[in-house]
Amino acid sequence: MTPPRVRIRDTRRRLASLAALTLVSALAVPALSAAPAAAATPLRTLAAAKGKFIGFAAATNPLANEAAYRTIAQTEFNQVTAENAMKWESTEPSDNSWTFSGADQIVDFAVANSQQVHGHTLIWHQQTPGWVQGLGATAMRTAIQDHIATLVGRYADNAALVSWDVVNEVFNEDGTFRTSFWYNTLGQSYIADAFRWARAADPNAKLCINDYNVEGVNAKSTAMYNLVQSLRAQNVPVDCVGFQSHLATQYGFPSDMRQNLERFAALGVEVRITELDIRIQTPRTSAKDATQAQYYTNAVNACLAVPACSGITIWGFTDKYSWVPDTFPSEGAALIYDENYQAKPAYTAVNTAFGGTPTTDTQAPTTPGTPVASGITSSSVNLSWTASTDNVGVTGYDILRAPGTSGGTFTQVGTSTTASFSNTGLSANTAYRYQVRARDAAGNVSAVSSAVTVTTTTGGGTGGGCGATATVQTQWQTGYVIEPVRVTNSGTSAISGWTVTFTLPAGHTVTGSWNATLTTSGQTVTARNAAYNGSLGAGASTTFGFQVSRPNGDTATASGFTCATP
């Protein structure tokens, strides 16, 4: 997406505008079931109540391709940093040749989910292309200035992008300057220049210096402290200091982290934990999990104790995608969800530290009933089943499908928050098997149900199908109007009726409707055609609308519109 063109001059207005953008995009994002997380208030809700952000480093591949990844990303976090997509090699691999696809993908995701974005990173000695590294002093200065002007400038008007890592990892462990190609060619002047050019490109973004092994008070963090103090004394626009916090249980927790954050805060800068992960020597054991959880608690507490600490970014969230095993041999499992997106004790620790009371429930829901198929067409089937029960509440179901009447592998084709599901996009005259399993609010998963076998119809003119798309016509603090919901006969023959179902966020109630009859069960609303608009020829469409009231300040809207015939 192209960043919005409106120039917004201060951070508070940026955030107001971010909220507005979110409302518009809410319907574009398909509703996903609750995260397979602990029975817990999401981290973002808890962190926001404490005035902090909680974020994750986003990897572009799973963000594009894995629903489970996206679900947790949008449910649990209100901040995003691009793990790699905004680095020099990703954005300007050769001189003045730009690739913004990954960076834009992450910014778009953030905008759609009311998340703030931290730009990472402008000047680093790694993941910078060879063409930059070999430049002479004059050409290197020009390259830095151009790179910053173009990349920072691209998002300067985007309300979601609130901060940048301008320089990254400029120090050696003993506090001397790293003799990177930047330093060897330009001396330390590149640091002040980069900050000034970044300020020129985006006067509103908070500009940060970022490093690792600076969490406690030590030679390296003291060198950073002195540099920040001296740069600010020279009016170099350093607004913020990032503490990467790539920690390892084998090296102990930096117990003076809070004290260290406080001394930086006293310089007048924002501080933030930018790349938190806490690796263990694999394999996991419950004892190592417990130590890791305690370190996560300590890190959150350090930030909570310091008003100038704006928040915490975890360097990923699932052990399925973490840089740790690739970088530190025989270490890993550094994040708060395991490879199967199940919350670990570290998740519970972070949630609790932010003030949550996550349950420790381990009881799985009862096995759902065998799915019953109805409304079979040449390309779709409706499934419903007897709901599971659970002590802490069923949050949703996974729908699994295998090809044919026997053999093959069951893979997940969707999720549902209710005991029914419509599977579309099937091949005509083809057999499929379906099973379902339930998830509870603590992330426990039931056994899978027995399978039902479904064979789609032959099609060729006998099929009728329909689709529904919804538009938010208008909205206000405490309600909104969805008009039109356009119902289209997507089949090859006339239909004599239609049923559109959709989901209301918690606390929302329908207060009126037109051109359809609405019934509500839990959060699910079923809209049945009126007497006069049920018959639709192939390709024809009709519309209906409704009004909803919602809790003051809630920005969510109804979602997950699906259509079935009749």
Query: Which residues belong to the active site?
Result: 169, 275
- Report the site for ligand XIL in 350-389 (rule: CB under 6 A): none
- Shortest distance in whole angstroms from residue 125 CB to ligand XIL: 10
Do 324 and 339 form a contact (C-beta atoms < 8 A)?
no
Do 292 and 256 form a contact (C-beta atoms < 8 A)?
no
Distance CA 462, CA 494 (A): 9
Confirm or reject binding of residue 523 to ligand XIL (CB under 6 A).
no
- Shortest distance in whole angstroms from residue 364 CB to ligand XIL: 34
Considering only 17, 25, 41, 84, the residue that binds ligand XIL (CB under 6 A) is 84
Confirm or reject binding of residue 182 to ligand XIL (CB under 6 A).
no
- Shortest distance in whole angstroms from residue 294 CB to ligand XIL: 23
Nearer to ligand XIL, 123 or 156 (CB): 123
What's the token pair of residue 268?
């007048």
Q: Binding marks (x or -) toward ligand XIL, 101..130, rule CB under 6 A?
A: --------------------x---------
Confirm or reject binding of residue 533 to ligand XIL (CB under 6 A).
no
* Residue 177 per-residue DSSP state: B
Tell me the residue number closest to ligand XIL, measured at CB: 323
Nearer to ligand XIL, 346 or 353 (CB): 346
Considering only 116, 163, 168, 249, the residue that binds ligand XIL (CB under 6 A) is 168
3-class SS of residue 403: strand
CA nearest to 243, candidates 169, 192, 178, 304: 169
Q: At what angle do helices 67-76 and 101-112 cross, to 10 degrees?
A: 50
Distance CA 371, CA 385 (A): 5
Burial profile 461-475: b = 16 or more Cβ within 10 angstroms, e = fewer: eebbbbbbebebeeb
Considering only 14, 18, 83, 487, the residue that binds ligand XIL (CB under 6 A) is 83
Helix (H) / strand (E) containing 273? strand 270-281
Confirm or reject binding of residue 395 to ligand XIL (CB under 6 A).
no
Confirm or reject binding of residue 244 to ligand XIL (CB under 6 A).
yes
Q: Binding marks (x or -) toward ligand XIL, 473..512, rule CB under 6 A?
A: ----------------------------------------
Confirm or reject binding of residue 319 to ligand XIL (CB under 6 A).
no
Nearer to ligand XIL, 242 or 371 (CB): 242
Confirm or reject binding of residue 178 to ligand XIL (CB under 6 A).
no
Considering only 164, 243, 253, 323, the residue that binds ligand XIL (CB under 6 A) is 323
- Shortest distance in whole angstroms from residue 274 CB to ligand XIL: 8
Q: Binding marks (x or -) toward ligand XIL, 423..442, rule CB under 6 A?
A: --------------------
- Shortest distance in whole angstroms from residue 542 CB to ligand XIL: 50
β-strands 431-440, 420-423 pairing: unpaired
What are the CA-CA distances from residue 57 to residues 1, 63, 93, 122, 131 (Å)? 20, 11, 21, 16, 27
With CB under 6 A, what is the number of residues at the site for ligand XIL? 7
What's the token pair of residue 264?
């930086």
Do 558 and 504 form a contact (C-beta atoms < 8 A)?
yes
Confirm or reject binding of residue 164 to ligand XIL (CB under 6 A).
no
Distance CA 257, CA 61 (A): 33
Distance CA 436, CA 438 (A): 7
3-class SS of residue 175: coil
What's the token pair of residue 382?
């409706």
Nearer to ligand XIL, 321 or 397 (CB): 321
Nearer to ligand XIL, 59 or 201 (CB): 59
- Report the site for ligand XIL in 264-293 (rule: CB under 6 A): 275
Cβ contacts of 302 within 8 Å, gap of 6 or more: 257, 258, 261, 273, 309
Residues making contact with ligand XIL (CB under 6 A): 83-84, 121, 168, 244, 275, 323
